[in-house]
Chains A and B, each alone.
Chain A
């Protein structure tokens, strides 16, 4: 097992891989809510495709997490039978969709984060994580091209569209702090050569976001101290509703299969 190769505690690696996988899973589930409700057919397809890619990432990551844990939990068991407190996504991912512009702002912030993170994870000493990142990063580039393209159109658009995305940005910005808040687990992974240092990811993310916001003529909100701990399993009220819907079938009909 790769966990023992790098001298990293298997339980720690398990939790770290869940952080990555849960971000993709929860955001993918959120984007799926748009299907049939998007402003145009093209956006329906776009958001559904991005959701599909994210669920694909989550499947690879959760499968790997289950193998690292070694207790026989597969991707489905981890996705459908974990309680809210055992989900480790940053809470930005679970924030409600709001209007289309609001969803786009959330998407830009997370796409840019995943892009910078995965680019660096391709150099991970954990070969499995490196290969998942190498595969996913190509798709994330497309996601950001889509979301950033829309943010520029909306920000540099009509007074109405501009006001809406600026409001969304002001509202969602404080949650970005959690993406880069390095805790013991993040440090352990960085020191073990499994993951990049988060401050490094942050400065690259920050530069990329700055460029997009400038082009979109949007004002970058000020950073504020954060109190979010989604990465440790403490979530906003929204995650419970997402899981209730996503896990309904397995909870109601345990072990039901397709």
Chain B
């Protein structure tokens, strides 16, 4: 293997390591890699490191903060020339949140999206009951389809009466 290939590999790995330290500004418990926002890290033919970044929701104000954090992290990691490109298609889905991301969300008090969303024909049907992250009761209700950030809905447990957030399936 040529030394060029080796250094390219090293640049890609240190980029991944740097990106793993970038937290979501609204949910500091999880990294942007846990959330599945980094679509690829590759070296382009011109030698530039190319990072693909997907927004969760098109209007989410955190998207621009995340972009800036990604740029800062890559600069600090000295990965050489790089560019950060927005990837809209295929659209980001909550299915891409990693298993680790899901357990981190739950530990943080946010119920991770459970259902796979490949079939979205049932627009008007409600989700299955969501278990309370504190007392695990299934006797919960939706307070609002929309919560404190675009990606979360607001629920309440009828068992322990605590409100909690649910990361929406999209």
B89 near A138: Cβ-Cβ < 8 Å: no
Name the residue on B nearest A143 (C-beta): B145
Which residues of the other chain, A, contact B55 by a CB distance below 8 angstroms?
Answer: 56, 135
B88 near A146: Cβ-Cβ < 8 Å: no
B134-162 contacts to A, CB under 8 A, are 143-148, 150, 154
A–B complex contacts, Cβ < 8 Å, 21 sampled: A42-B146, A42-B154, A45-B146, A45-B154, A49-B146, A53-B57, A53-B58, A56-B55, A56-B60, A59-B59, A134-B88, A134-B91, A135-B58, A135-B91, A138-B170, A142-B168, A144-B123, A144-B124, A145-B145, A148-B124, A149-B145
Which residues of the other chain, B, contact A42 by a CB distance below 8 angstroms?
Answer: 143-144, 146, 154
B170 near A45: Cβ-Cβ < 8 Å: no
B58 near A145: Cβ-Cβ < 8 Å: no
A132 lies within 8 A of chain B by Cβ:
yes
- Please report B residues at the A interface, Cβ cutoff 8 Å: 55, 57-61, 88-93, 120, 123-124, 143-148, 150, 154, 168, 170
A52 near B60: Cβ-Cβ < 8 Å: yes
Known: A45-B148, A131-B88, A134-B91. A52 touches B123 (CB 8 A): no
Binary interface encoding of chain A residues 19-45 relative to chain B, with 1 for a CB under 8 A from any of its CBs, else 0:
000000000000000000000001101
CA distance in complex: A134, B145 (Å): 21
Name the residue on B nearest A61 (C-beta): B58
CA distance in complex: A127, B93 (Å): 19
A89 lies within 8 A of chain B by Cβ:
no
A58-114 contacts to B, CB under 8 A, are 59-60
Among A53, A135, A139, A142, contact of B88 (Cβ-Cβ < 8 Å): A135
CA distance in complex: A177, B124 (Å): 24
- Please report A residues at the B interface, Cβ cutoff 8 Å: 42-43, 45-46, 48-50, 52-57, 59-60, 115, 127, 130-132, 134-136, 138-139, 141-142, 144-146, 148-149, 212
Q: State how many angstroms separate the Cβ of B155 from the closest Cβ of chain A.
A: 11
Q: State how many angstroms separate the Cβ of B66 from the closest Cβ of chain A.
A: 14
Which residues of the other chain, A, contact B61 by a CB distance below 8 angstroms?
Answer: 52
- Sort A-B residue pairs by CB-CB distance and give the 4 closest, nearest first: A56-B59, A56-B58, A131-B89, A42-B144
A134 near B146: Cβ-Cβ < 8 Å: no
Known: A52-B150, A131-B88, A135-B91. A142 touches B59 (CB 8 A): no
With contacts defined as CB atoms under 8 Å apart, how many contacts are there between chain A and chain B in the complex? 83
Which residues of the other chain, B, contact A54 by a CB distance below 8 angstroms?
Answer: 59
Which residues of the other chain, A, contact B120 by a CB distance below 8 angstroms?
Answer: 138, 141
Not counting A49-B150, A54-B59, a sample of 6 additional A-B residue pairs whose C-beta atoms are within 8 angstroms of each other reads A45-B154, A131-B88, A134-B91, A135-B88, A135-B92, A146-B146
Q: State how many angstroms separate the Cβ of A62 from the closest Cβ of chain B.
A: 12
Q: State how many angstroms separate the Cβ of A107 from the closest Cβ of chain B.
A: 13
A139 near B58: Cβ-Cβ < 8 Å: yes
CA distance in complex: A149, B126 (Å): 10
A60 near B146: Cβ-Cβ < 8 Å: no
Q: With a 10 A CB-CB cut-off, give which of B93, B144, B147 has the most chain A CB atoms.
A: B144
Name the residue on B nearest A122 (C-beta): B89
CA distance in complex: A56, B58 (Å): 5
Which residues of the other chain, B, contact A127 by a CB distance below 8 angstroms?
Answer: 89
Q: State how many angstroms separate the Cβ of B58 from the closest Cβ of chain A.
A: 3
CA distance in complex: A115, B124 (Å): 12
Q: State how many angstroms separate the Cβ of B59 from the closest Cβ of chain A.
A: 3
Which residues of the other chain, B, contact A60 by a CB distance below 8 angstroms?
Answer: 58, 88
Which residues of the other chain, B, contact A55 by a CB distance below 8 angstroms?
Answer: 59
Among B88, B90, B144, B170, contact of A46 (Cβ-Cβ < 8 Å): B144
